[in-house]
Structure 1
Amino acid sequence: MTEQVHNSELGESAAIAVSAKGFCKRYGKTVAVNSIDINIRKGEIYGLIGPDGAGKSSFMKAVAGVLSFEAGTLQVFDTMVDSEASAEKVKQRIGFMPQGLGLNMYPDLSVEENIDFFARLRLVPEDELTRRKNRLLGMTRLEKFRDRPMKNLSGGMKQKLGLVCTLIHEPELIILDEPTTGVDPVSRRDFWSILAKLLREQGITALVSTAYMDEATRFQRAALMYQGKVLAEGEPDVIGNLAQGTMITIEVESQARALLALGKQFEQIEAVGTRIRIWVDEADAPKAEKRLRDFLSDFTIRHLECESPGLEDVFVAKLRQEGDVVAALPVFEPTTDNSDGVAIEAHELSKRFNDFTAVDKISFTVPKGEIFGLLGANGAGKTTAIKMLTGIQLPSSGEGTVAGASMATAAQLIKQRIGYMSQAFSLYLDLSVSENINLFAGVYGLDPKTRRERGAWIIELAGLQGHEKELAGSLPMGLRQRLALGCALVHKPQILFLDEPTSGVDPLGRRRFWEILFNLSRVQNVTILVTTHYMSEAEHCDHLALMYAGRVVADDTPDNMKSAVTAEAGGLLEVSVDNPIVALGVLEEAEYKGAALFGRKIHLWSADSQQSRARIESLLGNAGIQVLGMQARALSMEDVFVYRVLQEEKATEQNAA
């Protein structure tokens, strides 16, 4: 694929921080980055968006001066980076944060000791260090954790500490390689807020990569990358026009049967909770709707609407239209067990470690065949809850049943009836694909004939044909996670526990993973309890429980959670202005504390839309800022999550005072 889409040419007066022309990077015979052209303007947040293996990290390392390249030119500020000597010239003006939680820090050093180390490494004057450190610790909400060892921080806190260490020498350009991967939505929202503040107060330039397609709206401009090439470059709205088509969402009776029928006609379909999302290769929305209604004439459609596609939808459509997406996963044979009833029940479960309460009297019920999501920030107690339900840890108090067996008296029976895919360990990376499958089949006592049958099924299920002899550790993350899922399913469990199963998996891999989960739930009546940090995945769940500080603070369907927050806090307004950085500061001073920068737009909460519109126009007009438009936006699960957690944090602080 060689097509590039550009929204506009750079103006002659635009100051350029980074300019790449015909940039190529190879590792032996493998082409990691294939002749790309990118210009990054000073004072903007520029994004590199794409799945694993797209070439994002290779390009960023070259910009940071830590990786050579084979062809093309690369200019950083006023220096042509073409040798080690030229790379050294610009390094003092750059801050680079590599990919991976806390990989650029020292685990046994405290928060403050890590910052001091990087400050001295960068020759920050002692009289400046205290001022900068206090400011950055306050900005990242790490002030009260100065003495905590880095290894004891949550994932989000590690990333924020990494950002502080990257910023301590006040660089002009910061390069952040997937800084939000593996952290919870509140930490991600904090991260973007910090970048917006730095952009406004210091005029820094930020080059940020992400595999989260929904973060595209955070950038002023971005490049969408795939297999080393730039598919599109420009403002997010322009990138969204990369593929032609219409996204339609429906609710229909007999969802599983409708999904099977749709799969024979439409190549890009996705089950999301009780809805089905269909990409129709027709740009005219009325024609696309008519085509879909005609096809579903034998089905009762409860609801149908055309909606704006997300960047992930467009990305998948573009790859599919150019033949770069592999065939759909196999459809499962229906199970003979269609019985109703309760699969999991927790009643006031608690787990204490000495004086620390990790889980505090949680209660919920999961019916058979349901996809149940357990959400929460790092340290909320999700993993501990799963370990109690799976019999790995005994509860301190409370009771529960799993697959009809009591947690208190039948832990071994529970283990035989469930599949468990843990957050930290699910495979033996130094064994091959087939060896992993055979090992797990042996653990569950399957006979040789059944072992061969289930092994073949898992290979087909995970799309691992041709990879049987490869080491699990050498597989791309998406394939590795599907293999881990297959190993958890080798003994045909009734219930599946998945602890952040798609963390670090690219968008295509996550979609295929959820195709499997939907088929397991709807066709084979397998009950699934899943924890996730991807709020777009929360939409796939039939029911959600949101945990905070060990407690369940919300328990409902995704739609009902959104309705509850709307009734309590109002809706979201999206404000388009000609100077978003300055406008954000004006709105924050006017106590719109939830205001957040989304590229060239601002999102904020509004209890009264009409009153807010008039006030915002007046505030920004008095500041000389032109309002280009205002519109209401539907709440996402990330909005709900962040709102609920921040409300709980506020209540905790008030109680402590």
Structure 2
Amino acid sequence: MPLLFNQDGAATTHGNNATFAEVSAASQPWLVEANQLVKRYGAHLALDHISLQVRPGEIYGLIGPDGAGKSSLLKAVAGVLAHDEGELRVFSQLINTEADSELIKDRIGLMPQGLGQNLYGDLSVEENIDYFGGLRLLSAEALRERKEALLKSTRLERFRDRPMKNLSGGMKQKLGLVCTLIHEPKLVILDEPTTGVDPVSRREFWSILSRLLQEKGITALVSTAYMDEASRFHRVSLMHEGKILASGEPARMKDLAAGCIVSTVCADAQQQMAAVQRLSQQFPQLEALGQEIRVFVDSADADTARQQVLQTLQQTPAIAQAQTEVQDAELEDVFIALLRQRVAADTNADVNVAGPVLATAADTAAVVSAARPSTQQLAIEARELSRHFGEFKAVDQVSFQVPQGEIFGLLGANGAGKSTVIKMLTGILTQSSGQGMVAGADMRTAGLQIRERIGYMSQAFSLYLDLSVLENIRLYAGIYGLSRQQTAERMDWILNMAGLRPFGHALTASLPMGLRQRLALGCALIHRPQVLFLDEPTSGVDPLGRRAFWEVLFRLSREEHVTILVTTHYMSEAEHCDHIALMYAGRVVADASPEQLKSRLEQEAGQLVEVDCADAPQALQVLQQAGFASASLFGPKLHVLLKDLEADSQGVRASLQAFDVSAIKPRRLSMEDVFVHIVTSLEQQDAQHQDTQHQKGST
């Protein structure tokens, strides 16, 4: 049964007939009201008696794994998918037929999943907006006024003549939002609008959306694969297998799973592996982030949780003196704990939901050859690597080194040059200048023998969707020239590693994205490579799938010394990396471990704090105007970096006297904070430089 919160914030359980009456004192009718909604695809139950209500003016979030039913629910509300049972009302209109849906479609804006999926690639920014304005029968004057206002709000004015296909991922999504809002709908439905978008663009997208919704009184129903985005919503529902596990305000959702996080930092990879093996026997939910291990301890207060973890670690002498720290659980931790507890209750057994389909150490050993180079040997080296396309410098003298067995993260905004670097290092593109070395060989001249030592999983999907799982594996085995016996061995490992044994004969197109990506990883590893290149491997994959995927990468790196170079837009995944190179405009602008980058940011910009106040979007503008340039919107609260914690906190309170500041609390820095700070600072420097050049040119 779903868990809800009453008006005082206490968790309560209800059957599927439950309403949200107890969580709202509002008297206005629900804008969206679903009661016992059912949708079937053949024998598959996509929506299993779903009940929820959305208030006018709020941002309501749907969060859950692939196949949870989020998209089906959004499409039903948008009137583009018929439901089989139950009752659905939108704007108080009962939706039972296509004719019913037509009565409300002029008040709805739908933005489908995928970068620019509702746009036309060969049309310019302005032409796309004009096309959607025409579809909505706007007058020329209304279209002009709204277009100029939205272009200004989204900072797309300078790009109005650029073809959509040449925009970055973040710009495509902002244009998609403009086209969705051009007719000023009362309800906007967004299906994973920021998947594949870099953190700076994601924050900007949500800030723009929040401001526009507030100005126009628009309601939003949103699905997302990013758990951290849930804090930006007024209320959320956690979905799994067509059902709602829990609903309520994000800040209160964390109370649904009793327990807390105990963090342990290990001295080296060997100590970390020993700690993971020991802790996983006692605690079913844990993850490794770089040299850190985060353990979720069920039903325990901070002191008890720390003691339980320390007692477990003390059973292994090599890690008996480990340092621990207790942290508040994040919403992703709570979601996984809820799901784990539910599965355990259904099966009367402990289930490791954080990694349900992970390879064991013995399984993973079959992936790589017995002979392993020393972990001190460089596996990847870029020496002033450059690639030009005409006069455009996609990659500009990039240099970095990756030791054997390290997980190396290559981060950057859309268009920073990350994929181009990978393509040069794998020999797909030739460099304009510089050298790219992999496994001791120059990839420009490397023969087939060297190429067989690397695995590559591209950003574009690399499997054949019309082939079955087993057929895809056999195809890749044939490409790499594996014998029949080798193919059988690798196939057995892939099916275990990816949790695909029940789906061997299923078409790849029918698999959830998380399983597809693990199949693609298995195919990239089928020939036992020493070096693995992964270009945004988990884009669009749900939190459970991402954790399972990274558990496999962790074991490959720590146990078998496979070198992994990965690009990602999920900054929580960047925490998994041993080392990070951050790219901006084709250049490496930061090169250090995650903890070093956080330490540098704290020294440079100060302590991160969270400000709890009324009317956060308006308060943000006031705070930025008062000189707190780092301030950003984070759900119903504000995040800001303060150099002098005590004095600057007083300055924040003084600036926000009209906004009823109830609390200013220190927060731990994340890699997203680091990424946003560095990239935003560089963007501001570039903007100032362009203004200076423009002024010189005009004089």
Matches within 5 A, 1:153-192: 153-192=167-206
The answer to whether 1:644 aligns with 2:678 is: yes
Tell me, yes or no, if the aligned pair for 2:291 and 2:578 is still in contact at 8 Å: yes
Structure 1 residue 444: Cα displacement: 1.7
Q: Residue in 1 aligned with 2:324?
A: 304
Q: Which of 652, 666, 671 is residue 632 of structure 1 equivalent to?
A: 666
Q: Residue in 2 aligned with 1:80?
A: 94
CA distance in 2, matches of 1:128, 1:189: 29
Q: Residue in 2 aligned with 1:493?
A: 529
Tell me, yes or no, if the aligned pair for 2:632 and 2:640 is still in contact at 8 Å: yes
The answer to whether 1:337 aligns with 2:372 is: yes
Q: Residue in 1 aligned with 2:10?
A: none
Tell me, yes or no, if the aligned pair for 1:245 and 1:284 is still in contact at 8 Å: yes
CA distance in 2, matches of 1:369, 1:88: 57
Residue identity in the other structure for 2:281: K
The SS at the match of 1:120 is: helix
The answer to whether 1:656 aligns with 2:690 is: yes
The SS at the match of 2:236 is: strand
Q: Which of 461, 466, 485 is residue 497 of structure 2 equivalent to?
A: 461
Structure 1 residue 382: Cα displacement: 0.6
Residue identity in the other structure for 1:631: K
Tell me, yes or no, if the aligned pair for 2:66 and 2:514 is still in contact at 8 Å: no
The SS at the match of 2:103 is: helix
Q: Residue in 1 aligned with 2:275?
A: 258
The SS at the match of 1:360 is: strand
Task: Evaluate the alpha carbon distance shift between residue 34 and residue 332 of structure 1 in structure 2; reply closer, same or farther with a 3 A threshold.
Answer: same
Q: Which of 243, 257, 277 is residue 294 of structure 2 equivalent to?
A: 277
Residue by residue over 1:259-317, the C-alpha shift from the partner in whole angstroms, topping out at 9 and shown as x without a partner, is 11222222112111001111112322211211111111132333201101111111111
Comparing 631-640 with 440-449, which one deviates more in the overlay?
440-449
Tell me, yes or no, if the aligned pair for 1:247 and 1:306 is still in contact at 8 Å: yes
Q: Which of 178, 199, 212 is residue 198 of structure 1 equivalent to?
A: 212
Identity, in percent, stands at 58
Structure 1 residue 649: Cα displacement: 1.2
Residue identity in the other structure for 2:304: K
Tell me, yes or no, if the aligned pair for 1:7 and 1:238 is still in contact at 8 Å: no
CA RMSD of aligned residues (A): 1.8
Comparing 243-252 with 186-195, which one deviates more in the overlay?
243-252
Comparing 579-588 with 529-538, which one deviates more in the overlay?
579-588
Q: Residue in 2 aligned with 1:95?
A: 109
CA distance in 2, matches of 1:210, 1:268: 23
Structure 1 residue 591: Cα displacement: 4.2
The answer to whether 1:122 aligns with 2:136 is: yes
Residue identity in the other structure for 1:94: I
The SS at the match of 1:5 is: strand
Structure 1 residue 411: Cα displacement: 4.8
CA distance in 2, matches of 1:341, 1:132: 58
Q: Residue in 2 aligned with 1:573?
A: 609
Task: Evaluate the alpha carbon distance shift between residue 471 and residue 445 of structure 1 in structure 2; reply closer, same or farther with a 3 A threshold.
Answer: same
Tell me, yes or no, if the aligned pair for 2:632 and 2:639 is still in contact at 8 Å: yes
The answer to whether 1:295 aligns with 2:309 is: no
Q: Residue in 1 aligned with 2:4?
A: 5
The SS at the match of 1:240 is: helix
Residue identity in the other structure for 2:171: M
Q: Residue in 2 aligned with 1:33?
A: 47
Task: Evaluate the alpha carbon distance shift between residue 327 and residue 447 of structure 1 in structure 2; reply closer, same or farther with a 3 A threshold.
Answer: same
Structure 1 residue 429: Cα displacement: 2.0
The answer to whether 1:151 aligns with 2:171 is: no
The answer to whether 1:600 aligns with 2:654 is: no
CA distance in 2, matches of 1:576, 1:81: 39
Residue identity in the other structure for 1:350: S
Q: Residue in 2 aligned with 1:409?
A: 445
CA distance in 2, matches of 1:14, 1:648: 46
CA distance in 1, matches of 2:443, 2:97: 63
The SS at the match of 1:54 is: coil
The answer to whether 1:54 aligns with 2:68 is: yes
Structure 1 residue 14: Cα displacement: 4.8
Q: Which of 416, 420, 445 is residue 456 of structure 2 equivalent to?
A: 420
Structure 1 residue 596: Cα displacement: 2.7
The SS at the match of 2:278 is: helix
Q: Residue in 2 aligned with 1:372?
A: 408
The SS at the match of 1:257 is: helix
Residue identity in the other structure for 1:242: L
Residue identity in the other structure for 1:96: L
CA distance in 2, matches of 1:319, 1:303: 29
CA distance in 2, matches of 1:336, 1:109: 54
Q: Residue in 2 aligned with 1:397?
A: 433
Residue identity in the other structure for 2:164: M
The SS at the match of 2:162 is: coil
Task: Evaluate the alpha carbon distance shift between residue 486 and residue 256 of structure 1 in structure 2; reply closer, same or farther with a 3 A threshold.
Answer: same
Structure 1 residue 604: Cα displacement: 2.1
Structure 1 residue 644: Cα displacement: 1.0
Residue by residue over 1:27-55, the C-alpha shift from the partner in whole angstroms, topping out at 9 and shown as x without a partner, is 23322122222222222211111111111
The SS at the match of 2:96 is: coil
The answer to whether 1:583 aligns with 2:619 is: yes
Structure 1 residue 81: Cα displacement: 2.7
CA distance in 1, matches of 2:378, 2:5: 53
Tell me, yes or no, if the aligned pair for 1:390 and 1:411 is still in contact at 8 Å: no
Comparing 64-73 with 392-401, which one deviates more in the overlay?
64-73
Structure 1 residue 328: Cα displacement: 4.9
Residue by residue over 1:530-579, the C-alpha shift from the partner in whole angstroms, topping out at 9 and shown as x without a partner, is 00111000000000000111100110001111111222222222111243
Tell me, yes or no, if the aligned pair for 2:29 and 2:92 is still in contact at 8 Å: no
Structure 1: give runs of 5+ residues left out of the alignment: none
Task: Evaluate the alpha carbon distance shift between residue 411 and residue 647 of structure 1 in structure 2; reply closer, same or farther with a 3 A threshold.
Answer: farther
Tell me, yes or no, if the aligned pair for 1:391 and 1:411 is still in contact at 8 Å: no
Tell me, yes or no, if the aligned pair for 2:310 and 2:320 is still in contact at 8 Å: no
Task: Evaluate the alpha carbon distance shift between residue 327 and residue 378 of structure 1 in structure 2; reply closer, same or farther with a 3 A threshold.
Answer: closer
Structure 1 residue 383: Cα displacement: 0.7
Using the size of structure 2 for normalisation, the TM-score is: 0.90
The SS at the match of 1:31 is: strand
Q: Residue in 2 aligned with 1:521?
A: 557
CA distance in 1, matches of 2:499, 2:458: 21
Residue by residue over 1:195-250, the C-alpha shift from the partner in whole angstroms, topping out at 9 and shown as x without a partner, is 12113322221111101111111111111111111111111022112212221110
Residue identity in the other structure for 1:561: L
Residue identity in the other structure for 2:685: A
Q: Residue in 2 aligned with 1:315?
A: 335
Tell me, yes or no, if the aligned pair for 1:35 and 1:229 is still in contact at 8 Å: yes
**Runs of 4+ with deviation above 6 angstroms:** none
CA distance in 2, matches of 1:213, 1:249: 20
Residue by residue over 1:57-85, the C-alpha shift from the partner in whole angstroms, topping out at 9 and shown as x without a partner, is 12212222222222332222243333333
CA distance in 2, matches of 1:362, 1:249: 34
Matches within 5 A, 1:131-142: 131-142=145-156
CA distance in 2, matches of 1:512, 1:7: 34
CA distance in 2, matches of 1:618, 1:554: 35
Q: Which of 540, 543, 547 is residue 579 of structure 2 equivalent to?
A: 543
Structure 1 residue 7: Cα displacement: 4.2
Tell me, yes or no, if the aligned pair for 2:173 and 2:194 is still in contact at 8 Å: yes
Structure 2: give runs of 5+ residues left out of the alignment: 8-22, 345-352, 692-699
The SS at the match of 2:503 is: coil
Using the size of structure 1 for normalisation, the TM-score is: 0.96
CA distance in 1, matches of 2:472, 2:148: 49
Tell me, yes or no, if the aligned pair for 2:313 and 2:322 is still in contact at 8 Å: no
The SS at the match of 1:427 is: coil
Structure 1 residue 189: Cα displacement: 0.9
CA distance in 2, matches of 1:616, 1:327: 45
CA distance in 2, matches of 1:619, 1:556: 36
